[in-house]
Amino acid sequence: MAIRLGDTAPDFTAATTEGEISFHKWLGDSWGVLFSHPKDFTPVCTTELGETARLKPEFDKRKVKVIGLSVDPVDSHKKWAGDIGETQGHPLNFPLIADPDHKVSDLYDMIHPNANNTLTVRSVFIIDPSKKVRLILTYPASTGRNFQEILRVIDSMQLTDKHMVATPVNWKDGDDVIIVPSLSDEDAKKRFPGGWKPLKPYLRIVKQPGR
């Protein structure tokens, strides 16, 4: 069954570069980003893993744990990790799941047989502290993902979970936001005493509340 937004992220145990993990236990009360890679020793994946290692402090700041997956075994991952540190300048600093039997890839529907029947596509699942799946992305093998976008959407979700706002097109942290349509003007006055810009009754722009 396909995983949909709002579903509980399937739990699993798996071997990783940091030992065996039990996924839900490993997540604890953090947010999580689970992302798959087609294969070890592939160029695009090498750059993505180096970039994620570089951005680890940004994920930590947001209380987000990151974990990668590739269908190769742990000893291969560990050899590849050396190349990642050497070529990207940022050694692997988060676990990489080994999934040679496709247990986790199948659970998360990361193999799309009409694209490739053995390798995973570039999937991303963002999971909140209640273990609900909050975002799903699927990219082809030939296109590296934009990890700034992953941080941006985490910022948006953490902000909109806390305040009655939504974030507009191309929003980034600090930009103005939108008051959710379900909030009446009367209630909005209590939440946003500084007022807002009413472009339409349903499009009310307000300064970003504190995160």
The residue among 17 and 156 lying less far from ligand BEZ, judged by its C-beta, is: 17
Q: Which of 27, 34, 45, 127 is catalytic?
A: 45
Q: Which residues bind ligand BEZ (CB under 6 A)?
A: 38-39, 42-45, 141-142
- Give the nearer residue to ligand BEZ in terms of CB position, either 143 or 170: 143
Question: Least separation, in Å, of the C-beta of 126 and ligand BEZ?
Answer: 21
Provide, rounded to whole angstroms, the least separation between the CB of residue 124 and ligand BEZ: 15
In the complex, least distance from residue 16 CB atom to ligand BEZ, rounded to whole angstroms = 19
- H or E segment to which residue 124 belongs: strand 122-127
Q: Do residues 22 and 28 lie in contact, with contact meaning Cβ atoms separated by under 8 Å?
A: no
Tokens representing 112 are 């799309």
CA dist 171 and 113 (Å) reads 35
Min separation Cβ 2 and ligand BEZ, Å: 23
Cβ proximity to ligand BEZ: between 45 and 177 the closer is 45
In whole angstroms, give the CA distance from residue 154 to residue 32: 10
DSSP 19: S
58 is catalytic: no
- With respect to ligand BEZ, which residue has the nearer C-beta, 44 or 157? 44
Smaller CB distance to ligand BEZ: residue 24 or 39?
Answer: 39
What SS3 class is residue 26?
helix
CA nearest 48: which of 171, 40, 173?
40
Q: Report the distance separating Cα 151 and Cα 58, nearest Å.
A: 8
- Shortest distance (Å) from residue 154 CB to ligand BEZ: 23
**Residues marked as catalytic:** 45
